[in-house]
């Protein structure tokens, strides 16, 4: 293999792909990236056997070939190189030569046959979704994915696509986040229901940051592939039954409170400074046209704040984890949010004013 590639394009591609590999694995090849040079394209692939990513960039290929090379070390080297063309050369059984301007490196390469084979993706299968749709949905559910490995079905987000609608939902048992968006029925190739692991969602979100086209979702055997323009991500699915989330969604009926997002976000951030490391509830007192926010810490003291809001319901006092409230507000795009709080012990519903197909349910804490 012998190829030349632009440093900046190579670096951004490396940064993307090396995110899925594991630096410390008992199987050495899983800490490596597969570099393939063919035609006028350099293709990079990485995998940890659960999540795989493959992406391509333009390069001047002088001799076609492939080699597996340490992903972390290659990234660290390229990151420090000047903005000049990078020359990559490897002969089977020898080291990989990396030359850029007056810098030269040699890294041990591994034959490509040792790299795990990526699954075949059939042409034309799956459904097509606008990249903007997925880019919006992922951060609005990722924050609610559980990290509790004893409940594996909650360590991912449920993705459902059917009848012209795409939905994504995540819960950790204390909060639930649901977002829905319409999709073109003409581009749907059948229903999809899959629990996507947290890591795959996070990496997919990074891939979508600058994507402007469509994404094709292709169900595979216990896996699902996301095909972008020049890139693909394939992830193993979480097996099991996701909880029936529709049963716990509270009704938005009854009086709701309407507040400016920035006002509520700022007040909660200030109040949270007094909570320290304790799992102390932040108390919300809903009164006619005003909201009282308070937080007490027996070691530090107390914080109080008052906000104006639109509210005509009964006076209610309820406690929440301030982190859960801040996580919700952090992914809202609108200027106003609504709260539907029925009583101090029932799940509360939080939404942007216009809805946007986005809802967050948060369980209260005992005061």
Is 222:196 a contact under the CB 8 Å cutoff? no
Take residue 10 and report the two structure tokens written for it.
Answer: 């190579």
Give residue-wise pLDDT tens across range 123-155.
878 899 999 999 999 999 999 999 999 999 999
State the average pLDDT for the chain: 92
Among 127-141, 177-191, 239-253, the range of highest mean pLDDT: 127-141
Domain assignment present for 333: yes
Q: Are residues 131 and 243 in the same domain?
A: yes
At 256 the pLDDT is 87
Give residue-wise pLDDT tens across range 25-75.
678 899 999 999 999 999 999 999 999 999 999 999 999 999 999 999 999
How far, in Å, CA of 85 to CA of 366, rounded? Answer: 61
Asked which of 114, 147, 165 is the last residue of a domain, the reply is: 114
If one counts the domains in the chain, the total is: 3
- pTM of the predicted model, to two decimals? 0.91
DSSP state of 365: B
Range of the domain at 61: 2-114
Is 27:20 a contact under the CB 8 Å cutoff? no
- Give the length of the chain: 367
At 348 the pLDDT is 94
Is beta strand 336-340 parallel, antiparallel or unpaired with respect to 316-320? unpaired
Q: Are residues 101 and 142 in the same domain?
A: no
Dmax over Cα atoms in the chain, in whole Å? 77
Percent of the chain with pLDDT over 70: 96
CB within 8 Å of 167: residues ≥ 6 apart: 158, 159, 160, 161, 178, 179, 180, 181
Asked which of 209, 230, 247 is the last residue of a domain, the reply is: 247
Mean per-residue pLDDT, 189-203 = 91
Mean per-residue pLDDT, 279-284 = 90
CA pseudo-torsion sign 178, 53, 20, 86? negative
Residue 313 has pLDDT above 90, yes or no: no
How far, in Å, CA of 226 to CA of 9, rounded? Answer: 22
pLDDT category of residue 367 using cuts at 50, 70 and 90: confident
Domain assignment present for 301: yes
Q: Are residues 240 and 344 in the same domain?
A: no
Residue 65 belongs to domain with CATH number: 3.10.150.10
Domain assignment present for 121: no
CA proximity to 145, closest of 94, 196, 88: 196
Domain assignment present for 34: yes
Q: Are residues 230 and 295 in the same domain?
A: no
CA proximity to 5, closest of 61, 80, 53: 61
At 54 the pLDDT is 96
């Amino acid at each position: 293999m012998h190829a030349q590639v632009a440093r900046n394009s190579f670096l951004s591609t490396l940064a993307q792909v090396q995110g899925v590999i594991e630096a410390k694995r008992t199987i050495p090849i899983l800490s490596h990236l597969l570099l393939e040079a063919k035609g006028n394209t350099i293709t990079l692939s990485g995998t940890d056997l659960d999540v795989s990513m493959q992406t391509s960039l333009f390069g001047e290929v002088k001799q076609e070939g492939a080699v597996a090379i340490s992903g972390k070390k290659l990234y660290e080297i390229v990151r420090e190189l000047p903005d000049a063309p990078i020359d990559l050369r490897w002969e089977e059984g020898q080291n990989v030569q990396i030359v850029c301007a007056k810098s030269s490196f040699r890294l041990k390469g591994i034959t490509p046959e040792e790299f795990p084979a990526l699954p075949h993706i059939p042409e034309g299968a799956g459904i097509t979704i606008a990249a903007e749709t997925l880019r919006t949905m992922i951060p609005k559910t990722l924050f609610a994915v559980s990290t509790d490995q004893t409940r594996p079905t909650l360590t991912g987000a449920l993705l459902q696509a059917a009848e012209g609608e795409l939905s994504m939902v995540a819960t950790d048992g204390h909060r639930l986040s649901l977002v829905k968006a319409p999709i073109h029925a003409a581009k749907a190739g059948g229903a999809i229901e899959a629990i996507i692991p947290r890591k795959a969602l996070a990496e997919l979100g990074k891939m979508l940051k600058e994507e402007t086209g469509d994404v094709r979702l292709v169900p595979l055997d216990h896996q699902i592939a996301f095909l972008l323009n020049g890139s693909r991500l394939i992830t193993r699915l979480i097996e099991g039954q996701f909880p029936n989330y529709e049963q716990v969604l509270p009704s938005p009926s009854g009086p709701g409170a309407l507040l400016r997002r920035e006002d509520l976000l700022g007040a909660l951030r200030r109040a949270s400074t007094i909570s320290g490391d304790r799992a102390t509830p932040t108390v919300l007192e809903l009164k006619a046209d005003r909201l009282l926010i308070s937080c007490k810490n027996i070691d530090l003291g107390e914080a109080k704040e008052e906000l104006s809001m639109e509210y005509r319901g009964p006076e209610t006092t309820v406690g929440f984890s301030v982190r859960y409230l801040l996580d919700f507000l952090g992914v809202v795009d609108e200027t106003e949010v609504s709260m539907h709080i029925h009583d101090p012990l029932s799940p509360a519903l939080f939404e942007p004013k216009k809805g946007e197909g986005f809802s967050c349910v948060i369980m209260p804490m005992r005061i």
